[in-house]
Structure 1
C-alpha cells in the first residue's frame, strides 16, 4: 500500500508554520546540514552556540566587564559534548546539569591574576536573551551502522542557543500515536542517535488528535497527554484552519516562556530515571507559587490543599515544589510531615533519589537538632513534634514551608496543635491522594483553601492510572449450605483437567469437615488460588491479599504454602504493636509470637524484613502473592500488582487507599482488579456513596473510583462482532484458506491483529470472572471460545504465509495464558520463530504448509522480506526481483497462472536470491564475479550506460575504477560522516563520467542521479 505522504507532509507544514508564529526561527534541511559542516554525526549548531555564549556570558572585575576568552568558549562547548561510553542516560544527566547549573571557568585577568567565574548556556532569568530555532528532517548518523540504515531523521528538532532540546515525531491521523513513540524510543537505543538525545529534554510524538509527550529515556507507558485551554492564544497563531490537539500541545510545551520554566524546574532525575512534570503537577506548583510568593498583613504566606489522586505522582510533586521554593525564596526551609514510619521512609527516599539532600529525623530530639542547625529540607513524623514543643522550640519564620502528606489524617488533635505551636508563622501546604469526606471539608479552610485538584476520573481518562474493575464474591453464600459449596466447587473446577479436578475434590472433602470459621479461610484460599493460577500466574503480574489480622495473614500464608500453587509471603508488624482486629490476635498470641521469632531469626530486624519482602515483590519473580494487614495498604507502589483480594473490613480513606495499590501502570496491564470477599460494595449497582463503606464522601469526588466488572464483560460481544464484521465477505466460512487469501492485504491483516488482541483480552477478562454467566449463556460462551481457537490458528498460519514477525507485544503472555487455561491448548497452533530463505529449515517449514498457493505466498513473502532488507545494497537488481514478484501475484490473481505454476515461479525467485547471496553468477565479468560491491556497481551503472555504450568491457573498466575509489576512501576513519571525503568521492565519479562523454561522444542527462546512486551504493556496501 502506498503511504499517504501528503497527509504527513501537510501535518509537518502546519507544525512548521505554528512554530514560526511562536517566534522560533526556521532552519531548512539543507541549512541544518551546512550549519554542521556536513558532519551528520554532530547535532549542535556550533556557530549559533558560540555567538550566544559570547553574548550571554561576561564577568566583572574591578568595576569593569570583560568577555570570556575564546578558549573558554571552546571549553564550554566541549564540556557539553558528554561521552556516551557510560550510557545515554548518564550522559544526558550530565548535560542537563550543565544546562541548568552552568559551569565555571578560570580567566586570566588584566593584572596577571586568575579567577573562576560562572558561565551559563541558557539565561533562565531573562528568557528573551535566548534564541530559539527549529528545523525539519534533521538527519543524524547512527553510532552503529548497518548495510541499510546509516542515519535516522527526526521530523522536527528544536534548539535553544544552538543546543537541541526538543524532538517531535509526527504521524498522520490514521496512524496510532504509539508508532511515533516507538520510533522515538528506538532512536534512543544503543547504536542509534544517542548523540542527539543526550541533549534532549522534551520529546513529543503523535498525530493531530492524540499527541503525547515525555523526556529522554521515558518508557512508552509513561508518555502523557497535556491538558490546557490554549484556544485564545492559538486563534491568533493558527490561521485558515481549526487548531488541533497537536497544535495545543506544541504551544503548551514549547512556547518560549513555558520551555524555560520546564527546563529549569520541572524535569528531574528520580533514582537515575528522568521524569518530566505532568500537567497537573505543573499547574499545581504554579498555583502554589502564586499563593506563597507574597506575605499577608500578618507576615504570613498563604497556604492551601492539593488533592491529587493516588498514583498520579504526588511525591514527585512535593520534590519539584521543593526545588522551586528553594530557588524562588532565599533561605527557605521545607519540612515534609507524614504520620507513618513507612511513608516517612518512602518520601525521604524519593527526595534522595531526586538528588535533593533531605535529613530524616530519627526521633524527637534529633528533629530539634535538625531544626536548630538550619537544615533546609527535613522529613519527619508528626508525632515527633510533641518532643519539639516540650523543648519550647519556636521557629517564627514565614520562610519555613510545612508539606503535610495525607493531611486529612493529621489536621486535628494534640499533634497538629504541637506542630502549629512550633511553627506559628510557617506556610502550611496539605497534600492528599484521596478525596476529602464531607466532614473533613473544613480541612481545606485550615490550610487556606483548595489550591488544585486532580480527580480519580481525570487521572483514569488521562491514562495516568488504570481503571479498577470490581467483583464481589460473597463467601457467606458459599458456606451457608452444601448446595452452595457444590456450586462453588463447580465454578472453581470449571476449567481444570480431569486429574486436577480429582485432586481438588480430595482437598474439598477435607475442607468440608472443618469448622465454619476455618471453612471460610479455606474456601477463600482455594478461590484465590484458582483465580490466580488460571489468570495471573506466569504472566509477570502479581497480587495482594488484604486480611483482618496478623493471625489470618499467617494462616492464609500457611494454607497457600500447603497447597503449593502460589508462592506467598505475609507482612505484619511486631506482635506488640496494634494492627488489624486485635481481639482475633489476642486469642492467638503464642502462634503469632512464634512466627515472629522465625521472621527475626531469618531477617535480623523488622525493617530488613519489610524491605526484603517489598523488594522481592516489586522486583523479583518468585514471590507472587503478598498478604498484608495494614502495612503496605497505603503508600506502596508495586506496578506489577494487578489484583487486590479483600478479606477485611475497609471503609472511607482506607478503602480508597487500599484499592489504589493495583491502579499503577505496567506493560500489558489494562486494569486493576478488586475481588471483594466482604461485600464492601455489594453488587455495585448503586451510587458509591450509597454503600456504608463510602457514604461519607461526595458522589462527584468518587466518579471513576471503581467500575463493575460486568460493564467490561458486556463489551466482549462488541469485540467479537468486530472480527465477524471484518470477515463478512469471506464466502466459505468453513475454509481457512479463504480467510488466509482474504488477509493477503496488509491493512486487513493489521486490522485483524488489532481486533484479535482486543477480543482475546476481553475474553480472558470475562472468563476470569464468575459474572460472565450472568451476562452470557453457556452456548454463547462456548462460541466465544471456539472462535478464539479458530482465530488464533489463523493468526499463526498467516504469520508464516506472509512472513510477518507479529505477536501481541506486551499482551503476548496474557494471550498465551488465555489459550493455555480457557482454550484447548492441544488444538491451538503455536507461534514459532520465522525462518528466512537462507535458513536450512526453510524448506521443511514450507512443506508443513497446506496447499500450493499458500506455499507460494510464504516463499514470496519471505523473499520480499529479504529483498527489502538488501534493497539499498543493490537497488537495480532487487527492484527487478520485487517487480517480478508483483507480476507473479498479478498473473495469479488474473488466473493466468495455476497454483502449481505460481509455486514454481516462487521457487525460482528464491533460487535467484540464493545464488545472488553466494555471488555464483557466470553472467558477470570474471574480474568482479566474487566481489559483491563491484557487482552492485555493475548492475546499477549498467542501467545508465548500457543504452549509450555497446562495448561490454567498458562497463567492467568503469566498475573497477569506481570500486577502487571506495576501496581507498573506506580506509579513512569515520569517512561516511566526513563531508570532505563525500565531496572527493563525488568529484572522482564525475571525472569518470566526463571522460566517458568525451571518449564516446555521449551526453548523460542525469549525471547528478548517477553520482548520487553510486555514492550511496558505495556507502552502503563499504561502511
Structure 2
C-alpha cells in the first residue's frame, strides 16, 4: 500500500481502549431533582451493574474476607486449603504491622505474592493482573459496617459505596445528597482514614482512590499515606498541600478538557471497567516518599496519544519522519514532568523501543528533572554529567530512560559518526521545546537517528504569527519541528480546573512621558531612563513595601481541627470541629531584569535600602545571571548548556563573585564563580528558592 493511501486510511484507534472518552455529552433529559443519599447510592449501584459490575450484599468483615479468598482463587486458578489461606492472608495481605504505606506498595510495586503450599512447594499469587486488565473482576458493595473494636478505639461506621477489585476494596465512593457541599464528603473520608479504615483486618486500607459526590458535582483523588496524614493532623505539615488536601481533588473530564461533573456521567466514564482498571494499574504513581499520585485526565490522554503514535509509526514504517512525532501544549504548572515521566516509563517498556531520551535545555533543568524523576521512581532514569557518560549509557542496554541536555546529545552526535545507537528505535522527548531547539542541533539529531519518534512538551508553542524571522525557515514553528499537536491544556483550562492559580497583573508606571513635543520624546535615552538611580530606588522601595502583601506572607486561612469527641445517646460519638486560623506560608518571587548591568544595580539598591534593618527583617536576595551577555548571539540563548562564567567580562564576574560571597555568608556555604562551583551554587540557590529560604 502506498504512503499516500496509508495517510488516507489513518487508523483512528490503535489497540486497547482509551482511558479518557474522546468527547462526552451529558444526558440533558436526566432528572436532577432532589435526591437523598440513599437514592444517589441506589442509582450509582444500578449504573455500575449495567456496566458489568457484580453487586454483593456484603456488610461484614467475615463476608469480605471470604469473598476475597474466592476472587483470588478465580484470578489465579487455584484452590486454597484453609491452612494455606490463613497463612497467606495473615502474612501476605493483612499483616498486623501493615498500614496504608505497606498496602500501597503491595498494590503498585509488589502485586505478585508468594504462597507456601501445604506440600512445601511455592506458587505466585497475583493480587492485581496488570498485564491483562480485563482478567480482574470488579464488584460493588454498599453500607459495609465496621465496629468500634474490642477496646472501642475505632468508631463504628457504615460506608456508602465501595468498589472491590479481585475482592480487595480499592475505590471508595462517599455520597451526600444534592445541594450539600462535597467538602463534607471529603471531610468524612478523612475521619474514616483516622478512625475506621484500619479496624478489623484493615482491608479498607487497600483503598487507592476516593470519589466524592453530591450527585451534581463529583471529584476523585488518591489515597494518601498514613505518615502524611498523621503529620498534617499534628500540624507538622500545615501550609503544605498534600494529596490529603481538598485542593488536590480533581475533576474527571473528556479529551477536550470538558469536566464531567454529575455522578451519572462520571459513573459512565470514570467507572467504565477499562478506564478504572487502567487508572489503577497504569496511571497511579507511588513516589519514592510513598505518596500516591493519580494522574489527571489531560495527562492520561497525552500519555496514551504518544504511545499510540509510537505504535502506529512502528507498524506503518514511519519512524524517523515528522509523522512519527508530535507536540503537547500543556501550560506551566500542569504537571508536565509527571506526564513525561509516565510516558517515558510506559514507552520504555514497549517491545519495539530500545531507549527513551528525555532531553532538556539546561543544566539546572537537567538536575531538577532528575530529582523529579527520582521522586517518581528511584533509579527509573539515568542522568549524566558529561558526554562520555552519555555515550556509556547509550551503549548500555540496561539504561532504558536517559535524561540529557540537547547540547550533550549534539556533542555526542558530532563525535560519534555512524554509531550503532542511530539504528535503534529511539523515542526522544523534549522538555520545553521552544526556540532554542529549532536550530542546527535539532537538525543534527534528526539527521543522525534513523528510527526515532520525536515529541515535544511546551507551555509556550511557537506559531507562525509569533515565530522568529531568522534561522531555518522549515523549523520556525513548533509544528514544523515536532509534528502535529497531540493535545492541548491551556492556562484557561488550568484556571478553570483550579489546578493553577489565576493570574493577576498589576502595572506600576515608573517612566512617564510628560507634555513634551515629539522631538523631545524621540530624543529620550530609554535605557538611561530605565536605569536611572531615581527609578531603580523607587522600584526597590515599592518591592520592599509590598512584598509581604503580594506574596501573601501575612495571610491566614481557616483550618478545621477536632476539638472534642463525646459520647451521645445510642452509643455513637459526636465529633466537634472548630475553625482555627493558620498562617499561610506564602509564595516566593523572582525579580527579572533586562541586562546584567540592571541586575547589578538593583542588587546594590536592595542591599542599600535594607542596610538599617535587623537581619531577620531583611529579604534574603540571591543573584544569578541566566541569559547571555550582550555580546552573545541572537535570541538571548546561551550556546552552552549552562551559564559559562568564563565568558563574562571582568566587572560582571567580579560582581557575581561578591554576590556569591554574600550568599555564602547568609547560608554558611562556600561557592564561587569557578565552573563546577558555580553550577553547584545555581542548584543550591534553585533549591532554596523552591523551599522559600531566599
Which residue of 1 is the match for residue 110 of structure 2? 98
Contact 2:51–2:272 under 8 Å retained in 1: yes
Measured after TM superposition, the shift of residue 205 of structure 1 is 0.7
Which residue of 1 is the match for residue 416 of structure 2? 391
Contact 1:165–1:200 under 8 Å retained in 2: yes
Which residue of 2 is the match for residue 201 of structure 1? 208
Measured after TM superposition, the shift of residue 541 of structure 1 is 0.7
Which residue of 2 is the match for residue 286 of structure 1? 304
Measured after TM superposition, the shift of residue 284 of structure 1 is 1.1
Give per-residue Cα distances to partners, 1:837-867, cap 9 Å, x unaligned: xxxxxxxxxxxxxxxxxxxxxxxxxxxxxxx
Change over 3 Å in CA distance of 1:17–1:307 after alignment to 2 = same
Which residue of 1 is the match for residue 193 of structure 2? 188
Contact 1:178–1:206 under 8 Å retained in 2: no
Q: CA RMSD in A?
A: 3.7
Contact 2:461–2:478 under 8 Å retained in 1: no
Change over 3 Å in CA distance of 1:551–1:534 after alignment to 2 = same
Which runs of structure 2 are paired with 1:752-763 in the superposition (5 Å)? none
Which residue of 2 is the match for residue 525 of structure 1? 540
Pair 1:569-2:621 in alignment: yes
Aligned residues: 551
Give per-residue Cα distances to partners, 1:918-975, cap 9 Å, x unaligned: xxxxxxxxxxxxxxxxxxxxxxxxxxxxxxxxxxxxxxxxxxxxxxxxxxxxxxxxxx
Measured after TM superposition, the shift of residue 349 of structure 1 is 1.3
Contact 2:360–2:431 under 8 Å retained in 1: yes
Which residue of 1 is the match for residue 525 of structure 2? none
Contact 1:399–1:426 under 8 Å retained in 2: yes
Change over 3 Å in CA distance of 1:560–1:261 after alignment to 2 = farther
Pair 1:169-2:174 in alignment: yes
Structure-2 separation of matches of 1:83 and 1:454: 43
Which runs of structure 2 are paired with 1:323-334 in the superposition (5 Å)? 323-329=345-351, 332-334=354-356
Which runs of structure 2 are paired with 1:980-999 in the superposition (5 Å)? none
Rg larger in structure = 1
Which runs of structure 2 are paired with 1:75-114 in the superposition (5 Å)? 75-81=87-93, 88-99=100-111, 102-105=112-115
Give per-residue Cα distances to partners, 1:897-919, cap 9 Å, x unaligned: xxxxxxxxxxxxxxxxxxxxxxx
Higher relative contact order (CA 8 A, sep 6+): 2
Which residue of 2 is the match for residue 418 of structure 1? 444
Q: Which of 235, 245, 261 in structure 1 is aligned with 2:278?
A: 261
Q: Which shifted more, 359-368 or 264-273?
A: 264-273
Q: Which of 130, 136, 156 in structure 1 is aligned with 2:136?
A: 130
Which runs of structure 2 are paired with 1:206-217 in the superposition (5 Å)? 206-217=213-224
Pair 1:452-2:467 in alignment: no
Structure-2 separation of matches of 1:37 and 1:67: 19
Which residue of 2 is the match for residue 861 of structure 1? none
Change over 3 Å in CA distance of 1:292–1:160 after alignment to 2 = same
Pair 1:593-2:657 in alignment: yes
Change over 3 Å in CA distance of 1:378–1:590 after alignment to 2 = closer
Give per-residue Cα distances to partners, 1:693-751, cap 9 Å, x unaligned: xxxxxxxxxxxxxxxxxxxxxxxxxxxxxxxxxxxxxxxxxxxxxxxxxxxxxxxxxxx
SS where residue 407 of structure 1 aligns?
A: coil
Which runs of structure 2 are paired with 1:448-487 in the superposition (5 Å)? 448-477=483-512
Change over 3 Å in CA distance of 1:561–1:329 after alignment to 2 = farther
Which runs of structure 2 are paired with 1:223-234 in the superposition (5 Å)? 223-228=249-254
Which residue of 2 is the match for residue 764 of structure 1? none
Contact 1:265–1:323 under 8 Å retained in 2: no
Contact 2:364–2:682 under 8 Å retained in 1: no
Which residue of 2 is the match for residue 648 of structure 1? none
Which residue of 1 is the match for residue 519 of structure 2? none
Structure-2 separation of matches of 1:431 and 1:410: 13
Contact 1:134–1:158 under 8 Å retained in 2: yes
Q: Where do 5+ consecutive residues of structure 1 fail to align? A: 39-44, 59-65, 231-242, 482-513, 627-1023
Which residue of 2 is the match for residue 367 of structure 1? 390
Give per-residue Cα distances to partners, 1:204-247, cap 9 Å, x unaligned: 112222211111012211101011289xxxxxxxxxxxx97222
Q: Which shifted more, 390-399 or 578-587?
A: 578-587
Contact 2:108–2:281 under 8 Å retained in 1: no
Measured after TM superposition, the shift of residue 566 of structure 1 is 4.3
Measured after TM superposition, the shift of residue 269 of structure 1 is 1.9
Structure-2 separation of matches of 1:422 and 1:140: 63
Structure-2 separation of matches of 1:317 and 1:337: 14
| Larger relative helix fraction | 1
Which residue of 1 is the match for residue 336 of structure 2? 314
Structure-2 separation of matches of 1:71 and 1:322: 43
Contact 2:327–2:486 under 8 Å retained in 1: yes
Which residue of 1 is the match for residue 127 of structure 2? 121
Which residue of 2 is the match for residue 960 of structure 1? none
Which residue of 1 is the match for residue 588 of structure 2? 543
Structure-2 separation of matches of 1:615 and 1:244: 38
Change over 3 Å in CA distance of 1:309–1:80 after alignment to 2 = farther
Change over 3 Å in CA distance of 1:461–1:533 after alignment to 2 = closer
Structure-2 separation of matches of 1:334 and 1:229: 25
Measured after TM superposition, the shift of residue 338 of structure 1 is 0.5
Change over 3 Å in CA distance of 1:263–1:480 after alignment to 2 = farther
Structure-2 separation of matches of 1:529 and 1:144: 60
Measured after TM superposition, the shift of residue 300 of structure 1 is 1.8
Change over 3 Å in CA distance of 1:51–1:82 after alignment to 2 = closer
TM value normalised by structure 2: 0.71
Measured after TM superposition, the shift of residue 27 of structure 1 is 2.3
SS where residue 588 of structure 2 aligns?
A: strand
Structure-2 separation of matches of 1:479 and 1:329: 69
Change over 3 Å in CA distance of 1:10–1:542 after alignment to 2 = same
SS where residue 475 of structure 1 aligns?
A: coil
Measured after TM superposition, the shift of residue 464 of structure 1 is 1.3
Which residue of 2 is the match for residue 998 of structure 1? none
Contact 1:104–1:116 under 8 Å retained in 2: yes
Measured after TM superposition, the shift of residue 323 of structure 1 is 2.6
SS where residue 545 of structure 1 aligns?
A: coil
Which residue of 2 is the match for residue 609 of structure 1? 681
Pair 1:18-2:42 in alignment: no
SS where residue 468 of structure 1 aligns?
A: coil
Measured after TM superposition, the shift of residue 142 of structure 1 is 5.7
Contact 2:255–2:297 under 8 Å retained in 1: no
Measured after TM superposition, the shift of residue 448 of structure 1 is 2.9
Give per-residue Cα distances to partners, 1:435-454, cap 9 Å, x unaligned: 33333774324323111111
Q: Which of 558, 569, 575 in structure 1 is aligned with 2:607?
A: 558
Measured after TM superposition, the shift of residue 164 of structure 1 is 0.3
SS where residue 505 of structure 2 aligns?
A: strand
Structure-1 separation of matches of 2:248 and 2:343: 21
Change over 3 Å in CA distance of 1:474–1:5 after alignment to 2 = closer
Measured after TM superposition, the shift of residue 327 of structure 1 is 3.5
Give per-residue Cα distances to partners, 1:783-809, cap 9 Å, x unaligned: xxxxxxxxxxxxxxxxxxxxxxxxxxx
SS where residue 141 of structure 2 aligns?
A: strand
Structure-1 separation of matches of 2:106 and 2:515: 65
Structure-2 separation of matches of 1:380 and 1:155: 49
Structure-2 separation of matches of 1:27 and 1:67: 21
Change over 3 Å in CA distance of 1:176–1:291 after alignment to 2 = same
Measured after TM superposition, the shift of residue 480 of structure 1 is 11
Change over 3 Å in CA distance of 1:615–1:557 after alignment to 2 = farther
Measured after TM superposition, the shift of residue 74 of structure 1 is 4.5
Contact 1:106–1:116 under 8 Å retained in 2: yes
Measured after TM superposition, the shift of residue 585 of structure 1 is 7.9
Contact 1:82–1:95 under 8 Å retained in 2: no
SS where residue 422 of structure 2 aligns?
A: coil
Q: Which shifted more, 159-168 or 174-183?
A: 174-183
